[in-house]
Structure formats: C-alpha cells, structure tokens
Structure 1
Amino acid sequence: MAKTNPEAPMIKQGKWKYTWHMMKTNKACYAMLLPFMSLFIIFTVVPVVMSLPMGFTNFNMIETPKFVGLSNFYTLFLNDDVFLIAVRNTLIFAIFTGPFSYILSFIIAWLINEMNAFLKTFFTFVFYAPSMTTSVYVTWQLILSGDSYGYLNAVLIDLGILNEPAQWLTDTNYILTVVIIVQLWMSMGAGFLAIRAGFQNIDKSMYEAGAIEGIKNRWQELFYITIPSMGPQLLFAAVIQISASFTVGVVGQNLVGLPSTDYAAHTIMNHATDYGNIRYEMGYASAICFVLFAAMLLANKGINWLLGKYLD
C-alpha cells in the first residue's frame, strides 16, 4: 500500500491557505479561544509591541511623546546605578528561584505521583495553593515581623539563638535571602501543575516494556522513560519558571516595600514599576521593560535548545 504524505494538503494549497482551511474546519475551537485571545492581545501583545518605540521617547502620559533616540538606553546602562543593582539582584533571583524551583517542582511532583489518589489531590493543592493567594504576604509579614511578637523572632529568642529581635524585612543582611525563600515557597504554580499532568499522562505500558528491555530500578525508569515522555510539559514548566524568575518583584514589593532598604531586593521589574507607576516616566520605563523582555527571550531560547531534544 502506498504511503500518504500528511503534509501533502499543505504543499498543494500553500501554507497560508492550508492554515485558513484548518481554522475554518476547527472554527468552534477558535471561537472558544476568542475571548481569551482578545484580552491577551489587547493587554499583553499590544503593550509589548508599543514598549519598543516608546522606549526611544520621553513620555510622561500627559504631554506628547518626544523622540530622544538612544538616550534612555544610554542612561539606563551608563548613568543609572540603581539599575545595575537591579540587574545583579534579578540575576541572583533568576539563578536561585529559576533552576532550583524547577528542580524542586519536578521532585515534589514525582513524589506526589507515587501516592494514592486522595493524597495526590491533597498534596497537589497544598503545594499549589500559595501561588493562588495574595494574603500569603500577611502571613509572612507576621512570621518575619521585626519585633519580639514576630513568630520567628519569638522562637529564636526563646531558644537562646537571638538576644534581640532581628529586623528580617529591613536589615540588608537578611532582605534578599528572605525574599528568595518566600519566592521559592510560592513558586509551585502553573509549571508545577504542568509537571504533575505530565506524570499522569505517561503510558504505564512503557514501564512494563522497559522492564523487559532491562531497566532494573526507579532511577533508570526516571531517566530513560519518565523524563523523555514528559518533553512538552518539562519545556512548558521551564519557560514558566524562567519567565517568573526574571519578572520577580511582587514578592519583594509586598514584603519589604518599594524601594527596599538600600535597594537590597530591588529587581528590574521593581525598577520598571518605580518609573512607570510612580514617576510616570513611561519612556524610560518602556526601555527597562524592553531590556527585560530581551533577557527573557534569550533565556527561553536557551531553554528550548536544552530541552528541545525531548520533544522529538
């Protein structure tokens, strides 16, 4: 029997005609996507596209934007000392909360997958819940309060470890570490759920076939069957974690304020928020956001290169 080429319709009709044909064929699916895609385009795609030309202007949201060329970028890299601090802090956050939270999400999802159905649901909710609520900051502020009524200080003083309350949220010796810990605790979000779904969707017969082929323990199953079978979920989770690590800022802003003491937890996102939402220097804020977008794009390209082999 002659083999059929699945790409023949596309080759015959042309790529765009074939795409339009498939869209009409699946018009019900696209109709359901329309509300989300409309909001996504209006509030995400359009602002991102506008940020590049706006980054070359001086715009205060009242007067007409004035073209200033590369002045914003020149100031950003050569004259803005706070931005350099923000870059350093962002890289520290990206290193600790990106790869570490990704590996942690995978390990926790793997352990949860070994439990019974009830415990799977319970622990998935327990680890995912912190990423859904903003009231978590109130809890952490109570734990890390800088007086003797803060739970952490009270315990450490009772144990004799501290003689006086530590200023966890204002002392530059603690601020960055505290924010990283809280960020890690809240990092089990969409990426974690994607990895959990990946474990659920693995065909169990693959493990039986692996045992016949000579796989002898769980570690070999993990590296030879589980991870290669979860390529799309691993890639999605990696992109989500890297993007979240570069745009971190909300946690620090809610815990230690904006700006934090001596800019100890100041990130690029905080810098953009400072100039955009507080000073209304939208041209300069757009330049900051464009630099951040470029860094995230390069990081995601690297992730696609590293994990792309598992998608084949």
Structure 2
Amino acid sequence: MQTSRQVKTSNGVRRSPMQVWKEHKGKYLLILPFAILFLVFTIIPVFTSIVISFTSFNMLEPPVFIGLRNYINLTVNDDVFLIAVKNTLFFALITGPISYLMCFVFSWLINELSPKVRAVMTLVFYAPSISGNAYMIWKLIFSSDMYGYANAWLLKLGFISEPILFFDKKEYVFPILVLVQLWLSLGVSFLAFIAGLQNVDKSLYEAGQIDGIRNRWQELWFITLPSMRPQLLFGAVMQITASLSVSQISIELAGFPSVEYSGHTILTHLHDYGFIRHEMGYASAIATVLFFIMVFTNIIVQKVLRRVGA
C-alpha cells in the first residue's frame, strides 16, 4: 500500500518527496521565481477577489459580509450587466473562432516563405497587437466628420451624402469593435503557431507520403495539426481570454459608456464599478463571473482541440 510520503514515478519505483526533491532540485529552483510571481500576482488575487465578492467593500471601510447579494443584484437587478454579458458572449463568439483561424492560417502561409521574408512578414502581422497608437488610427479612420478616412472615401465615391456618425449610432459601434479586435488579434497565439510550425519534424512528411498522403490538406490534418497540439491548446486559451476580456477598445473608440451600451462588455462593467464607483465587492462579483465563464469556455474548447488528429 502506497503511503502519503511516497511518490510513484513513471518507472514504478516509489520514492519519498525528499528523494524526488534531491533528484530534481535544480529544476524546481529554476521554476521557483515564476512560481512565486504566479502565486502572488495570480492565484492569491483570484481567491481574494472571490472572497471579496461576498462582501460590501468600498475601500474606505472594512468589508461587510453580505452573502450572495452581489450575485443576486447582478442577475436580477442589473440590466446593464445583462447587456454586457450578451455583448461579451456575442463578441467572443464572433472574434474568438475567426481570430484563432486567422492566427493559424496566416502563420501557415508565412511559414512557407524564406527565412528573411518570413521574419519581415511576422513583424508586419504581429506589430498591430503591440502598437500603442492602434486606437488613434482607428479613431481617425472612423471619425464622425468629413475628414475621417471612411467618411471621406464614402463621400467621394457617392455612397453617402453626409458624414456618418460611426460612434454615435448603435448599429455601427459593434461591427467596428469587432473589426478592430480582429486587426489586433494576431498576437501571442500567432507567434506560438509559427514556432509550432517550425518545430514540426520534417521527416514526418516524408513518412506520410510513403503511407499514402497525397496533398497539403492531408498533411495539414494528419501531420501538422497533431504535431502542433500544444501550440493549438495554448493559442485557444490566449484567444478566448482576449475575446472575453475586451474593454479598452470599447472605452477608447466608443466612449464610456458607449451609446445605448452597444459596446459595453463585462470588463467595462467591472471597470465602472471597480475604478469609478469603487464598489469593490460588486466589482469582484463581476470579475468572478467573468473568471468562471473563461474557465468553462477554455475547458470546452480544449476538449474539442484534443480530438484534432486523434
């Protein structure tokens, strides 16, 4: 019978935690700095937020335990939160899969180029995700006067007779935010996919040709995708997180609050109660709901992706 002080290794030999520590001490020490940072700045804040979500806390007075009142108010009395949930899920449903496919398709195409051209094209596609002036560019394009590029082109081509107030009309706000988010979406996942494609064992393609693979699509499905499964899973997590945590785009482009809350998301609602109203208990409840939505979505997507090429 295995005791609590023994660890069964992959070869079946039982060792004590101290023996495992002595054998892998160097590895544990290497990951220790990241583990401490992850614990202090991720794990502890998440659990602290969950605890605070059951309180009334304004940052000036001690938290007061109120049970499920914050969650009841969110789901029953807060109509704006329900709008934010609808916008966030709809936004994620559109931008999440499309941006994920964009990251893979562009990385797949770029991977076929020569090394120098590949490096340049990677920078070109990745640059928007780290650009600090991205919002300013799009605000200039969709400016509501005749000097905005979109209005100027539409006026010149005769499609409209007067400038369109893009960010003052509900029907334009959401499509523009989707467009901008897709433009910014070729980020870390894009780089991970390129790295994954570079690391696929080339001998697998030769073996695949012997086994009957005859075209690039068969190579993609039976060799490339299964070989890139870790990168695909990582990219899914990153794209889901990005699509569900949109706020800055909406605030910068559509204003805060946006017209008829057309660009309002869960994270902008969190920003409202956390940084403007300083109702930290209520804001923590919003953050907790968003956290579990992300966790649930990631679990589903990863289960689906694990079947790729299986």
Q: Same fold (TM over 0.5)?
A: yes
Distance 1:111 1:48 in 2: 39
Moved more, 111-120 or 83-92: 111-120
CA deviation digits over 1:44-82, x for unaligned, max 9? 222111011100100000011111110000000000000
Distance 2:135 2:112 in 1: 32
For residue 213 of structure 1, report the CA deviation from its aligned partner.
1.0
Pairing partner for 1:8 from 1, 7, 11: 11
- The answer for unaligned runs of 5 or more in structure 2 is 1-7
Do the aligned partners of 1:232 and 1:311 also contact (CA within 8 Å) in 2? no
Do the aligned partners of 1:147 and 1:165 also contact (CA within 8 Å) in 2? yes
For residue 306 of structure 1, report the CA deviation from its aligned partner.
1.1
Do the aligned partners of 2:56 and 2:280 also contact (CA within 8 Å) in 1? yes
Any idea what SS the aligned residue of 1:7 has? coil
Aligned residues: 303
- Partner amino acid for 1:55? S
For residue 308 of structure 1, report the CA deviation from its aligned partner.
2.3
Distance 1:248 1:164 in 2: 31
Distance 2:35 2:26 in 1: 19
Distance 1:213 1:304 in 2: 29
For residue 167 of structure 1, report the CA deviation from its aligned partner.
1.2
**Structure 1 residue 46 and structure 2 residue 44: aligned?**
yes
Do the aligned partners of 1:156 and 1:162 also contact (CA within 8 Å) in 2? yes
> Which stretches of structure 1, 4 residues or more, deviate above 6 A after TM superposition?
none
Pairing partner for 1:202 from 200, 203, 222: 200
Aligned to 2:84: 86
CA deviation digits over 1:73-116, x for unaligned, max 9? 00000000000000000011110111110011111111111111
Aligned to 1:25: 26
Distance 1:275 1:261 in 2: 18
Distance 2:159 2:116 in 1: 40
Pairing partner for 1:274 from 272, 275, 291: 272
Distance 2:11 2:154 in 1: 70
- The answer for unaligned runs of 5 or more in structure 1 is none
Distance 2:26 2:308 in 1: 30
- Partner amino acid for 2:149? Y
Distance 2:295 2:266 in 1: 15
* Change over 3 Å in CA distance of 1:7–1:175 after alignment to 2: same
For residue 22 of structure 1, report the CA deviation from its aligned partner.
4.9
Aligned to 1:238: 236
Pairing partner for 1:142 from 140, 144, 152: 140
Distance 2:158 2:266 in 1: 39
Percent identity of equivalent pairs: 48
Pairing partner for 1:285 from 278, 283, 286: 283
Do the aligned partners of 2:221 and 2:309 also contact (CA within 8 Å) in 1? no
Distance 2:150 2:19 in 1: 62
Do the aligned partners of 1:142 and 1:151 also contact (CA within 8 Å) in 2? yes
CA deviation digits over 1:247-277, x for unaligned, max 9? 1111111111221111101000110111001
